[in-house]
Amino acid sequence: MATPTAGGEVAGITARWADLVLEEEEVTFVPEQLSAGDHQPDEVETWVLIGRFLTEKTVKVEFMRQVLASVWQPVRGVQVTEVQPKLFMFVFYHYTDIQYVLEGGPWAFQNHTLVCKQLPPGTTPTEIPLDTVELWVQCYDLPFGYTSDKILEQIGNFLGVFVKLDDRFLDAPWLTYYRIRVAIPVDKPVKRRMRMLKRDKTYCWINFRYERLHTFCFYCGMMGHAYRFCLKARNATIPVEQFPYSDDLRAGGIRGPREIGDPWLVPLGGKPKGEKLPPVGRGEQFVRDGQFVNGEGNSGGVKVGDDAMHAVTKRRREMDGGCRGHRGDERVIEGEDIAMTDVQKNLQMAGAAVQTRPTQ
């Protein structure tokens, strides 16, 4: 009889100890706020992106770092790490670098789309939902009188989530196609067209083409895999030529060779490239006559290093493409491609070159 009693006592003590441990774990920790003088003198301000690639293949991290760094060419460098399997962190050291990546996408490595978002302060990488990718969509065959900003916004919400429109040709009475930037869900098929009811109760079809659309399936329409690796396509009894989707959904573009990425990479524990630039104030900042100038035209009185100045001005010149001063504008490169020697073939697959906009 003594043995069961002893066993019951041990179980009771264990339960009470577990409750005590749980109570200690529930105590709230309140960190002390650091004052301005507590910061390290060499602390560098950073901007962080979290991203993943739409592929089941293993991503070669070292090669991917080189390719994307050569594509983005950040003026203060970029640090790339794999925080979890197939989840990557990109750390930038200047606001214009991360802005260029966010607004200039979508990007890709070996034709696999990079889905990325900025990491807000106070969050962890796994909290960020990486379920949409922003693309420019060309909308064809819009009837005359159905091209207002409101209708284009509704079309964008039909495709995904409307972001902005390309308003460079606002004064034109009608265009061959209209461009809108849309956050496309990656867990749904891309849409080929939309049936629209007009005021006279007749219907018309609005057709879509996607700029810089990377790997997607011609059978199921999902981004991230080709029809050769799609189970539904394998089980289909129709030839490839009769698949619902085709390469016609792509809007076409030009890609060219790029430099290797070491000049723009920041090693772990290393410091960003160039001199320390002043913090970004209100409005966009840029370089004018060797000085860092904010969006209001006021000079910050700080000289920018030659390397950073040339890199920023070169990017501005390439992004302008003769289309300055317009809201919602995707800047295009209208010069020659950057010609380099001994460039591997896969460097041409980074999705870096902005597509040339066809004549309206």
Q: What is the pLDDT of residues 51-95, one digit of tens each?
A: 999 998 888 899 999 999 999 999 889 999 998 899 999 999 999
Give the confidence band of 121 by pLDDT, cuts at 50, 70, 90: confident
Higher-pLDDT residue of 227, 334: 227
Which residues lie below 8 Å from residue 34, measured CB to CB, with a gap of 6+? none
DSSP-assigned beta bridge partners for residue 179: 138
Tell me which residue of 136, 116, 111 sits closest to 350, measured CA to CA.
Answer: 111
DSSP 345: G
Answer whether residue 346 shows pLDDT above 70: no
Q: What is the mean pLDDT of the chain?
A: 75
Higher-pLDDT residue of 331, 147: 147
CA distance 319 to 330: 8
Higher-pLDDT residue of 9, 157: 157
Answer whether residue 223 shows pLDDT above 90: yes
Order of strands across the sheet with 291-293? 286-288, 291-293, 299-303
DSSP-assigned beta bridge partners for residue 204: 196
Q: Which residue has the tokens 């840029």?
A: 286
- 7, 12, 14, 15 alpha-carbon torsion, rounded to 10°: 140
Give the confidence band of 352 by pLDDT, cuts at 50, 70, 90: very low
Strands (E), the chain: 47-53, 78-84, 87-92, 107-109, 112-118, 132-140, 161-165, 177-185, 193-197, 203-210, 286-288, 291-293, 299-303
CA distance 351 to 113: 8
- The reported pLDDT for the residue numbered 261 is 67
Which amino acid makes up residue 145?
A: G
